[in-house]
């Protein structure tokens, strides 16, 4: 019996011969950390027909799948990922706005690969409000649904109406509502082998000028308060009633360095990777920060960053 990778190669060649499957593709360049190892297989899906074919190939082969998205909340171990990494493009980047008949707002359908800042700016340009917070989040709609991304007092759950989810393991393709997604703080029921093909947002009518001011203020605030460079945003989720950044600072971890990774001196809940650095160094630093916070405060931190290829997925 062939291994899952060989079975996938054979199946995708038969079902979707036009799709380019790359072997041992480095995943670091597809993440905002820009470090990490390769995927055994990697491909890009640009339309529904190709997605259905890939889903069938995954189903018959049993290969493990990683949906990469925009990689803004992802850290892949230096050893890499032993399965199939998949990214959406093409038709899955579209943003369609359908005003309600009573002009009280609109339904926005955004493809799973649509960038959050793009969607935020397009909705504001259309005179809508409720999605301004997303202008400062460098992720995709699909990734934002999976982790219920948010900021500045709002999140995906606040405006999400419907989501089309394709299960690559079972082939199931359907539309679900927010209660079915079990949206929580930086969490949902979406699992690694499920693809968010599109999401619909229910947004209200707003004042374009006011919303544009809000966009500018959010961008300014993030520039002033969060570091640039190679990072994936907040490393740990905030404990109930507290701030992970405050606890990390309290434990004396600001500026702490292990190898090619450093806790940002600007914001303690950010870890920055050096150019050409090591994902394993980032993970080791996460472990050390969590240990020091637990020792100093008794609080157990939980990783917000999605960890792939590491033996201890919770970052401890």
The residues with which 184 forms a beta bridge, in sequence order, are 187
Q: Could you tell me the maximum CA-CA distance found in the chain, to the nearest angstrom?
A: 63
Using alpha carbons, select from 41, 22, 35 the residue that is nearest to residue 78. 35
Residue 68, helix vs strand vs coil: coil
The residues with which 242 forms a beta bridge, in sequence order, are none
Active-site annotation holds for 182: no
Using alpha carbons, select from 127, 72, 120 the residue that is nearest to residue 95. 120
Backbone angles phi, psi at 142, to 5 degrees: -60, -45
Give the contacts of 268 (CB within 8 A, at least 6 positions apart): 244, 245, 246, 248, 249, 253, 254
Active-site annotation holds for 304: yes
Q: Which residue intervals of the chain are DSSP H helices?
A: 4-15, 48-61, 116-125, 141-147, 178-181, 208-225, 244-250, 279-297
- Which entry of 22, 169, 186, 208 is annotated as an active-site residue? 186
Alpha carbon distance 190, 139 (integer Å): 16
Active-site annotation holds for 100: no
**DSSP symbol at 36:** -
Alpha carbon distance 64, 99 (integer Å): 40
Give the contacts of 201 (CB within 8 A, at least 6 positions apart): 107, 108, 109, 110, 119, 123, 130, 131, 159, 160, 161
Whether the Cβ atoms of residue 162 and residue 199 lie closer than 8 Å to each other: yes
Q: What is the CA radius of gyration of the chain?
A: 20
- Which entry of 50, 72, 188, 234 is annotated as an active-site residue? 234
- Which entry of 132, 292, 304, 306 is annotated as an active-site residue? 304
Alpha carbon distance 193, 71 (integer Å): 16
Tokens encoding 314: 């919770």
**What amino acid positions are annotated as catalytic residues?**
186, 234, 304
């Amino acid at each position: 019996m062939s291994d899952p990778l060989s079975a996938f190669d054979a199946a995708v060649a038969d079902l979707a011969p036009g799709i380019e499957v790359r072997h041992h593709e480095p995943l670091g360049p597809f993440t905002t950390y820009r470090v990490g190892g390769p995927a055994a297989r990697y491909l890009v899906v640009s339309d529904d027909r190709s997605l259905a074919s890939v889903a069938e190939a995954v189903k018959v082969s049993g290969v493990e799948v990683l949906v990469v998205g925009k990689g803004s909340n992802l850290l892949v171990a230096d050893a890499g990922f032993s399965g199939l990494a998949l990214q959406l493009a093409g038709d899955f980047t579209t943003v369609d706005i359908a005003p309600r008949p009573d002009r009280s707002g609109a339904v926005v359908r955004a493809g799973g690969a649509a960038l959050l800042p793009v969607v935020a700016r397009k909705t504001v340009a259309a005179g809508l409000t409720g999605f301004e917070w997303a202008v400062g989040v460098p992720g995709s709609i699909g990734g934002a649904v999976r982790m219920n991304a948010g900021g500045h007092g709002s999140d995906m759950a606040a405006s999400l109406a419907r989501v089309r989810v394709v299960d690559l393991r079972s082939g199931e393709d359907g539309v679900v509502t927010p209660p079915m997604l079990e949206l929580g703080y930086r969490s949902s029921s979406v699992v690694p082998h499920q693809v968010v093909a599109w999401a619909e947002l229910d947004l209200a009518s707003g004042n374009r000028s006011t919303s544009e001011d809000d966009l500018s203020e959010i961008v300014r605030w993030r520039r002033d308060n969060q570091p640039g460079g190679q990072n994936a945003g907040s490393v740990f989720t905030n404990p109930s009633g507290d701030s992970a950044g405050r606890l990390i600072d309290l434990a004396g971890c600001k500026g702490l360095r292990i190898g090619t990774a450093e806790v940002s001196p600007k914001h303690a809940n950010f870890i920055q990777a050096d150019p050409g650095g090591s994902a394993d160094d980032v993970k080791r630093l996460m472990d050390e920060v969590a240990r020091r916070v637990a020792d100093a405060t008794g609080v157990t931190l939980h990783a917000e960053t999605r960890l792939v290829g590491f033996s201890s997925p919770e970052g401890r």
